[in-house]
């Protein structure tokens, strides 16, 4: 073998060692990982690893498994809050401080006075804003609810690099502008609040909203099963459980899509 051939052979060996000659596994789907933490709380991890926690009501959430109540367990890059009710704001300020995550929400002055969240960890938003979070675009959309003591209720549509999107409705009743959310963001996965009288929207109304305005592939019921008097999985199965798109999760469970 002459010197040129030896050099070429060495180059091939080096490339193989670094994995550069490997072709990506064909058909390997990049997954969105969704973990339900109970009530409205979710951890969503993008295919590239951007970790986003929504409505982290954890330490006082009766539905959150004990091992997931420890805020040190989480390392989000972003914490999104849909409105300032305690069952949504929850541990958001403490979690942002501990993990140095950016807290995204509509301004909540009282909460910030109490929590003393450093300015650099807070990204104030309003309806229509878009926040770039790594490989995820977060669209802020309206919700039909209230938000005492401050701010206003919103939902979030997380748009991923492959074009898919996940819509966290927040706390809401059905509203006509859901048609615009479908037109603009066409969510593939909808996280739908269905707690009934004691705990938010009636499941029948939530299902009417989803079936009238959206064309999702997956619907994950949420905001139930935590507070007293809330819907149970059995109640919900009677209303929409036969639809194959409905995916019931258990608090603490992770599913990949």
Structure tokens, 76: 């989000």
Least distance from C-beta 83 to Zn ion, angstroms? 8
Distance, in Å, from the CA atom of 25 to the CA atom of 22, rounded to the nearest integer, reads 9
> Is the Cβ of residue 56 or residue 133 nearer to Zn ion in the bound state?
56
Contact residues for Zn ion, defined by CB under 5 A: 87, 171
Task: Indicate the length of the chain as a whole number.
Answer: 257
What lies within 8 Å, CB to CB, of 47 at 6+ separation is 30, 31, 32, 135, 160, 161, 162
Distance, in Å, from the CA atom of 115 to the CA atom of 247, rounded to the nearest integer, reads 36
Distance, in Å, from the CA atom of 221 to the CA atom of 195, rounded to the nearest integer, reads 9
> Is the Cβ of residue 166 or residue 196 nearer to Zn ion in the bound state?
196
* Closest C-alpha among 247, 252, 253 to residue 221: 247
Which residue has the closest beta carbon to Zn ion? Answer: 171
Least distance from C-beta 170 to Zn ion, angstroms? 8
Least distance from C-beta 95 to Zn ion, angstroms? 18
> Is the Cβ of residue 159 or residue 171 nearer to Zn ion in the bound state?
171
> Is the Cβ of residue 139 or residue 223 nearer to Zn ion in the bound state?
223
Least distance from C-beta 195 to Zn ion, angstroms? 7
Least distance from C-beta 171 to Zn ion, angstroms? 4
> Is the Cβ of residue 77 or residue 111 nearer to Zn ion in the bound state?
111
């Amino acid at each position: 073998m002459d010197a040129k051939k030896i050099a070429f052979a060495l180059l091939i060996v080096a490339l193989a060692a670094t994995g550069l000659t490997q072709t990506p596994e064909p058909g390997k789907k990049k997954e969105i990982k969704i973990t339900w933490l109970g009530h409205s709380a979710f951890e969503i991890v993008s295919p590239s690893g951007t970790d986003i926690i929504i409505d982290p009501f954890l330490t006082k959430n009766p539905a959150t498994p004990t091992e997931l109540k420890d805020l040190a367990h989480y390392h989000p890059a972003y914490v999104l809050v849909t409105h300032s009710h305690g069952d949504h704001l929850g541990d958001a300020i403490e979690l942002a401080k501990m993990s140095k995550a950016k807290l995204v929400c509509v301004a909540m002055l009282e909460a910030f006075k109490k929590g003393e969240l450093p300015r650099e960890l807070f990204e104030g938003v309003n309806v229509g804003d878009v926040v770039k979070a790594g490989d995820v675009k977060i669209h802020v959309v309206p919700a039909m609810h209230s938000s005492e003591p401050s701010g206003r209720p919103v939902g979030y549509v997380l748009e991923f690099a492959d074009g898919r999107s996940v819509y966290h409705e927040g706390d809401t009743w059905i509203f006509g502008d859901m048609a615009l959310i479908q037109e603009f963001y066409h969510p593939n996965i909808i996280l739908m609040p269905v707690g009934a009288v004691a705990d938010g929207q009636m499941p029948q109304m939530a299902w009417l909203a989803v079936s009238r305005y959206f064309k999702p592939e997956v619907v994950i019921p949420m905001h139930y099963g935590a507070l007293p008097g809330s819907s149970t999985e059995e109640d919900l199965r009677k209303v929409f459980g036969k639809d194959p798109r409905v995916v019931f999760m258990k608090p603490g469970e992770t599913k990949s899509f």
